[in-house]
Structure 1
Amino acid sequence: MITNELAWFKSSHSSAQNDSCIEVAVAEEAVHVRDSKDLTQPPFAVGRDGWARFVRHVARG
């Protein structure tokens, strides 16, 4: 998948002053992640199951 065709979004917890932001784009086969402050770096992809485990882990604190 060409990542510039994805619909990228930031967390609602991100702000213009925050220099530690990521953007994610959900696709059928994976969740793509990129650094919103440095778009020269390539994004990486995580399988949807792996992303779900990550989100559950973060939600638990």
Structure 2
Amino acid sequence: MTTLSGGTDSALNWFRSSHSAPDGAACVEIALTSANIHVRDSKSLHGSSIAFHPHQWTTFINTVEEGENK
């Protein structure tokens, strides 16, 4: 996982879930590249983002889903 400072990821194509509230008050945004999955807070578009390697992202998602099923 890598933390990127603001401004380094402005060329990425960011998107959020269709389940998110229209105002984006409690959302994260995701941007995909061939090497990483980038995540940022939708309230802080010019702030830092986190980049996950695909393996790390899969582990994170699986862990969240397992927690929801308990």
Q: Smaller-chain TM-score range?
A: 0.7 to 0.9
Q: Taking every aligned residue pair, what percent have the same amino acid on both sides?
A: 35
Structure with higher helix content: 1
With normalisation by structure 2, the TM-score equals 0.71
Provide the rounded CA distance (Å) in 2 between the counterparts of 1:54 and 1:42: 19
Q: Report the counterpart of residue 37 of structure 2 in structure 1.
A: 31
Give the corresponding residue for 1:7: 13
Higher-Rg member (1/2):
2
Gaps of at least 5 residues in structure 1 are none
Moved over 6 A (4+): none
- Equivalenced residue count is 60
Q: Provide the C-alpha distance between the structure 2 equivalents of 1:31 and 1:13, rounded to a whole number of angstroms.
A: 19
Which stretches in structure 2 are left out of the alignment for 5+ residues?
A: 1-7
